Structures are given as C-alpha cells and as structure tokens.
Amino acid sequence: MVDYHAANNQSSAGGQQTYMEQENDWDRDLLLDPAWEKQQRKTFTAWCNSHLRKAGTQIENIEEDFRDGLKLMLLLEVISGERLPKPERGKMRVHKINNVNKALDFIASKGVKLVSIGAEEIVDGNSKMTLGMIWTIILRFAIQDISVEETSAKEGLLLWCQRKTAPYKNVNVQNFHISWKDGLAFNALIHRHRPELIDYDKLRKDDPVTNLNNAFEVAEKYLDIPKMLDAEDIVGTLRPDEKAIMTYVSCFYHAFSGAQKAETAANRICKVLAVNQENEHLMEDYEKLASDLLEWIRRTIPWLENKTPEKTMAQMQEKLEEFRDYRRCHKPPKVQEKCQLEINFNTLQTKLRLSNRPAFMPSEGRMVSDINGAWHTLEGAEKGYEEWLLNEIRRLERLDHLAEKFRQKAAIHESWTNGKEALLTEDFMTASLSEVKALLRKHEAFESDLAAHQDRVEQIAAIAQELNELEYFDSPTVNARCQKICDLWDVLGALTQNRRESLERTERLLESIDLLYLEYAKRAAPFNNWMEGAMEDLQDMFIVHNIEEIQHLISAHEQFKSTLAEADRERGAIEGIKNEAQKIAENNGIQLTQTNPYTTITQQSIDTKWNKVQELVPQRDKALQGELTKQMSNDHLRRQFATEANVVGPWIQNKMEEIGRISIEMHGTLEDQLTHLRQYEQSIIDYKPRIDKLEVDHQLIQEALIFDNTYTAYTMEHIRVGWEQLLTTIARTINEIENQILTRDAKGISQEQLHEYRASFNHFDKDHSGALQAEEFKACLISLGYDVENDKQGDAEFARIMGIVDPNNCGAVTFQAFIDFMSRETTDTDTADQVIASFKILAGDKNFITAEELRRELPPDQAEYCIARMAPYQGPDGIPGALDYMSFSTALYGESDL
C-alpha cells in the first residue's frame, strides 16, 4: 500500500511556484473534453478510494460525496497523516461550506495556491471545480515529492518512467498520454521491478486492450494499486487524459519506491541505534567512574580535615606515617582514574559531535568541573593536613623540651629552697655578739644568694607560662608546681626581710666580726652561684635545626671554657682567704670553730662543685660534637634531596614546555604524531624511578625532622604536582590526536588539510592556550576568506559561526571545534558542476581562466597539471592564452571527450 503519511509538509518558494504552474495546467476557463472528464472522474475516484479505504469508507460519486466536506477532510487526514480541525456535523449549507473551507485552508497551508476554487462551488457539486481540487491534492500529496536529478515533479516522474522502460523494445515514453495507449509501458514498469509477475515477451503492440487489462489486473492483485481506468477508456480516445495517466503512473512510482525506502530506513535505524548503544555504554561508564571517584573524595576529605591534636610525639608520628601511606598507596590510583575520566569524557563528546548527537550532560554534580572542584578541595585539605601535622610535631617537640627544662630548673630551685624557711626562722636571741654579727653577715650572704636565684624563679614562671600558651597536656601539674615555688618564694622574701630587720635591731648590741670570714662568705657565695649556674648550663638540654645553630652553641661553650682559668684563680683566691684566716688564728693562738659563721659554703663544697664542672665540660663537648655530626648528616640529606630535586624539577618543567611545542608544531600524519606522542609518554613513564627515589629522600628528611632546605626551591609537593600535571597533559594531548583521527576518518579530511588547519589555528593562538578567543577566531576566519568584517552583515555571519563552534557560549573555540567547522565548510559533493563553480570563482566570474591565475591560486604541481590538460578557450570573449576550464571539469567526471 502506498504510504502518503510521511509526505513532506514543508515547501520552498520554488516548490510553490511549481505547484502553481502545474495547477494552472487545469484550465478552469475551458470546458473539459467529455472523454477526458470521464477518465479523470474514474481515475480520481479510484485514487481517493485507495486512501479512504484505510479509514473504512469510500466514495461513489466524486461530485456528490465531497459536497458536505466530511469525506474530503477525512481524505486529507489519511494522505497527510495530520489531524484537521473537528468537522461540523450539521446538514445545513453553512455547515458544509465551513467543512470544505477547513479542507481548503489545510491545502493552502501546505503551500498550494488555490485559484478560483471556492467552498460554495464544491458544495454545489461543480464537476469542473471538484476535479480541479482533487487534481491539486494529487499534485501536492502524490506527485510533488517525486524528484529525479532535481527536476520538477512532472518531469521527475517522466524521467523515472523513461529510465525504467529504456531497456524494453517498442516502449518510448515521451509524455503522459499517447505513450501509454498500447499498454506496453505499464507492463514494462511492472516487469522491471517484479519480473515474475509479467511475461513481457508474450505481449504484442497491436493488442493494446489485452496489454492494458493485463497491467491493471496484475497491479491491483499484487501491487495493491486499484484499477483506476478501463482499457477501453484509454484505447477509445485519440489522446488519453494526461492527469489521469499521471495519477495512475504515480501510484506505480510510490509502490516500487516504498520497498527501497523501507530498507534504507531500517539500515539507518540500525546504524543510529548502534551509535546510541555505544554512546550510552560510554555514558554509563563515565557516570560510574565519576560516582566512585567522588565517593572516594567524599570519604577522604573528612579524614584530612580531622585535626584533633595528640598528646605525645609518638602518636603524632603514627598519624604522619598514615598520611605518608595515603600519599604513596591510596592517592596515585585515583589520580590515574581522574585523568582517564577526563579522557573518556572528551572521547564521548567527540563521538556525539561526529554523529550529530547532543552533547552529553552528566548527572548533576558529576560534571568534569564538579570533579575538578572536588579534587581541588581534596588537595587543599591534603596540604592543610600535612602542614598541621608538621606544626603539631614541632609544637610537641618544643613542649617536651620546655617541660624537661621546667622540671630541671624546678628541681634545682626546690633543692636550694629546701630548709631555707627553717633557716630564716632560727632563734638567735641567746647568741653572743660575735655570733649575731656572724648571723647578720650570713644573712647578707643569703640575701645575695636569694637575689641570684630571682632569675631562676622568673625563668621557671616564664617556662610554665609558655607551656600553658602551647596547650601542654600536663599543664595542671606544671601550674601547681610553679605556684608552689612562687608561694614559697614570696614566703622566703617576707622571712628574709623580717630576719634582716631583727638582726639589724640586735646588731646595735653586738660587735666584732671576722673580716676574713666575711670576705670568704662574700666571695664564696657568688662563686658558688656561678658554679651552680655553670653546672645547670652544662646540663641544659638544647635543640637545634641546622649547622649554624650548633656552631653557635659550640662557640658559646668554647667562650665559657676560656673563663675557666680565671674561675680557677678565683677559687684559689677564696681558698687563700680561708687559709689566711686559719694562718692568722694559728699565729695569734685563736681557736677557730669548725664552720664559717657567715656562710654554709665550705671549701669542700666549692671543690666538689668545681670538680663536677670539670667533669661536665668534656661531657658537654661530646654532646655538642654529637649534635654537630647529626646536623652535618641532616645537611647531607638536604643536599642529597636538593641535588635530585634541582634536576627533576627543571626536567618536568622542560617536558611540559616540550609537550606544548609538540602540540603546536606537530609534523607527519596523525598516526605518526600519535605514535611519537605515545613513545614520548613512555619516556616520561620511564622517568618514574627518579620520582620514587626523590620520595625516598624526602621520607628520610621527614624522618630526620628536617623542616627547611636552603639548597633548593623545590619541595616534594611541587614535584608531585608537576609530575601529575605532566602525566595528565601528555594523556590529554594523545587524546586530542585520537579525536582528530576520529574527525578525519568521519569527515574524510586529508592530512594536508589538517596540517593547514593546525597552522592557521596556531598562528592566531598567540598565548598558546589551545583555544582561540572570539576576536582571534574572527581574525582567523577573515584570513581564510570569510566575510565577517565589522559591519551588520559580517557581525551576523560571525554570530552564526560562533553559534556552531561555541554552542555553550564559553567565549573560546577549541581546535577540535575549529576542525569540525572547517570540515563541514570545505567538504565538497565532488561533482563537475561544483568544480566548474570553483574554477569560475578563481577566474573572477569569467568563462575562461589564464595560466597566471592558475599559478597564483593553486599549488605549483596542481597548477601545471591543469595548464597541461586544459584546452584553449574558443568563446568570443576569450583572450590570448585563455583556457577552457568547463570542458576540463566535465572531462574529469567522464562527461566529455577532452
């Protein structure tokens, strides 16, 4: 059955003119020939019924059955496949006119100009107007779409008949009337497409009735083409009606073209479905990979943002090791997944573009930009977590040092203050004058000692304050001990002041003092304090981070050792005072007591502390030298890391720059470029052991708690980021070449064209960003000959082109989009007329072309090829040396004997 439901509902201005010309063939100003009118009525009635039977109805009288407009509207709905406005069911004339008008309006909406046909004439049963209207419908819905080699509908149908019947003897189709009278043309059409239905060799030209009846019966039985005419209608007239024959023949055309269209449609659907299935699979893969990566990022970020401090260095070291394990084992596979995700997305978008499908829009929150944003957040959290870890380690190290220093100083001070409160509360009222004087001098020495210990108390309080500020976990214990020391210090100060006042009141009653003992006490006390300070300094813990700091401590220690000789002389002088007092007593027979009444510091205690200082000096030397060795080792680690980093860092930077140059200055075929890039990628991957070695060096530095390196500006973070960017960049560049190969193969673009496109694109890509901004792209189009200058017409053309290459209004044109546009613009249909039109443009719209113009516009070898083969131009408007490009172009396609 002929299917008119898919009739084209659009019409061009040229098409409307054709309909009008064909419609005017039916002359409404002349009466139809009775025989022709009979043929038209019979043919048109059969044609209408062939469609109305699809709706379960038919007509008997073409003038009467269309008068109420109902079956006319039904006929139009069947053949157009569209719904018309709801008809009016009334029996009055006005209802019929309204229904017919709805049908006529629908016909007019399809680009058909109805001349002199009104609803009243149809309602009145005007035969001439009714037949004219049906012929207009047949033209529009049955014949209009027939086009062979861009001819009009009538000429196309005639040309189709001529080509199909050309191999048959005694058949010469020149028109749609007398060429069909003998019936052979109808039988030839059937035999050409369905040879099993017709025994063509048995047909005789002198028996037209038999021929016609045979064709009509076979068509009705096997081809579902209703019998529209009787053989006698055609044979019995001198000239059969052209419109009736055209209507009948159009049914044959549609019957035979339907099978080919169905097969073509099925193949197209299969191809479309295959592309869609592949694209849907890629989309599903992208969605799953994106979802998994985002879920991993979502789980990882809270772990990196958890900055709960630990109390001990060992616990923080455990956290640092967990972070290193994340960097080494967990993150690298995710970096590869992210790179693969971007490659899959770009490949999918390229395939969708090449198959004219809409761009893929991932689910909300799974765009490449969303993943990049989540990745950026992850790296920010990662950097912050690493900085926090290192700062916490420094803080705990500082806290441990300060806590130990506090305990040492507190222990020394508590040892000194032990018994001082009892000493200051001793009863001296029964003492003799000499004893009181001695007690007073002793108290002066104690005050001197007390003042000397003031600095230590202030240091203890300052250390406790710093521990509180650094949030030391055992601050309550430190604060309690510090408070106890300060309270006792205040008590000692008050007792000291009270005892001095009491001694001074008693001093007026007492006399006599041994100046030598007093001198001894005065000199022994500060010397004793000096030794205690020296012992404290020699046992003081230290923390340094570089060679300069330890060398500074060594220098200070050497300076201290240089004062030992003078200190030894002072010790001898103090001992001399004691010996002098004993000598005077012995010379004058004075009986000395066993202890110095002015001080508790004995020569034995001085000697013991002096010996202790002598023991601590070499121990301090050893400790400082050990730390110097450690710092030298740390300095070696710094230099070792810096040496490697100063090579790897510039190497990565150079490779990034080389990739940029390669992507711009690529030579050879795309396959050669792809092979070269993959080899280049492998050379980069082969460099990975250098990165791994640098990671090992970096781990040694962190394990040694080295926090700075003055020998290089590169950190491991810089190297990691640079390495990841390098791998991602080479992968993207390879993906771009693969997409170019897809585009080339899909569009049929030559390698030379691709090189030309790349050269033009790179010339205007001034910043080498891989994309042209709007003004750069406009300049590029102007250089290629596009009329997009700064005027109203040029702006409109440029806006149209930008809508093609930048549908998302990003303001930039990628090289892939540029190739897609240029391939669409430059892909030719490769016909002689196209080549002639191209030569005419080169010739400046002349009918000939010169050798000079060919050499100016074409490559040298192609220009010489044309010059050697083009015949001289023979036209009256020719000039000396004019060449005939028209005959040359037709000869290229075998259309002349050039």
C-alpha span between 694 and 643 (Å, rounded)? 10
Q: Interior CA angle at 893 toward 889 and 896, to 5°? A: 70
- What's the pLDDT score for residue 190? 92
| pTM score | 0.35
Residue 203 to residue 220: CA distance in whole angstroms: 19
- Are 76 and 137 in contact by the 8 Å Cβ rule? The answer is yes
On the CB side of 84, how many CA atoms lie within 13 Å of its CA?
Answer: 27
pLDDT of res. 30: 35
Give kind and range of the element (H or E) at residue 349.
helix 331-354
Which of these, 835, 661, 840, 669, lies nearest to 745 by C-alpha position? 669
Dist CA 710 CA 712 (whole Å): 6
pLDDT at residue number 365: 82
3-state secondary structure 3-32: CCCCCCCCCCHHHHHHHHHHHHCCCCCCCC
User: What is the crossing angle of helices 454-469 and 433-452, to 10°?
Assistant: 30
CA distance 347 to 335: 19
Say how far apart CA 245 and CA 222 lie, in whole Å: 20
Q: How many CB atoms lie within 10 A of CB 835?
A: 18
The dihedral through the CA atoms of 787, 788, 792, 793 has a sign that is positive
User: What is the per-residue pLDDT across 340-368, written as a single tens digit (0 to 9) for each?
Assistant: 888 888 888 888 888 787 888 888 888 88
Lowest-confidence segment of 170-179, 287-296, 738-747 by average pLDDT: 738-747
Of the candidates 537, 599, 541, 538, the one whose C-alpha atom is nearest the C-alpha of residue 574 is: 599
In whole angstroms, give the CA distance from residue 605 to residue 207: 156
pLDDT at 585: 55
Is residue 736 predicted with pLDDT exceeding 70? Answer: yes
List beta partners, residue 814: 771
Helices of type H across 124-241 = 127-138, 153-165, 184-193, 208-222, 231-235
How far from chain centre, in Å, is Cα 643? Answer: 35
Average pLDDT over the chain reads 80
Q: Token pair for residue 599?
A: 């001080």
Question: 872 φ, ψ to 5°?
Answer: -65, 145
Which pLDDT value is given to residue 594?
A: 58
pLDDT at 729: 85
What CA–CA distance (Å, rounded) separates 758 from 662?
A: 12
Report the C-alpha gap between 214 and 220 in whole angstroms: 10
| Residue 584 clears pLDDT 70, i.e. is over it | no
Residues 6+ away with beta carbon under 8 Å from 884: 848, 870, 871, 872, 873, 874
Q: Is residue 242 predicted with pLDDT exceeding 50?
A: yes
> What pLDDT is recorded for position 850?
92
* Confidence check: pLDDT of 844 > 50: yes
The encoded tokens of residue 503 equal: 């001694």
Res. 4: pLDDT tops 50: no
**Residue range 691-710: average pLDDT?**
85
Looking at residue 28, its pLDDT comes to 41
Provide the 8-state DSSP code for 179. Answer: G
How far apart are the C-alpha atoms of 875 and 808, rounded to whole Å?
Answer: 53
DSSP state, residue 209: H
Q: Express each pLDDT in 470-496 by its tens digit.
A: 777 777 888 888 888 888 888 888 888
Tens digits of residue pLDDT in 300-328: 889 888 877 777 777 777 887 887 888 88
> From residue 498, how far is each of 446, 693, 756 by CA, in Å?
13, 72, 104
Locate 158 and state its tokens. Answer: 């005639």
CA distance 208 to 170: 12
Three-state DSSP class for residue 169 = coil
Look up residue 870 and give its DSSP letter: P
pLDDT tens per residue, range 374-407: 888 988 988 887 888 788 777 777 777 777 787 8
Helices (H), 589-687: 603-664, 670-685
Residue 784 per-residue DSSP state? T
Three-state secondary-structure class, residue 772 = strand
DSSP 357: P
The reported pLDDT for the residue numbered 436 is 66
Please tell me the distance from the alpha carbon of residue 146 to that of residue 249, in angstroms, as a whole number: 12
Q: Of the candidates 629, 639, 637, which has an alpha carbon nearest to the alpha carbon of residue 704?
A: 637
pLDDT-derived band at 165, boundaries 50, 70, 90 = very high
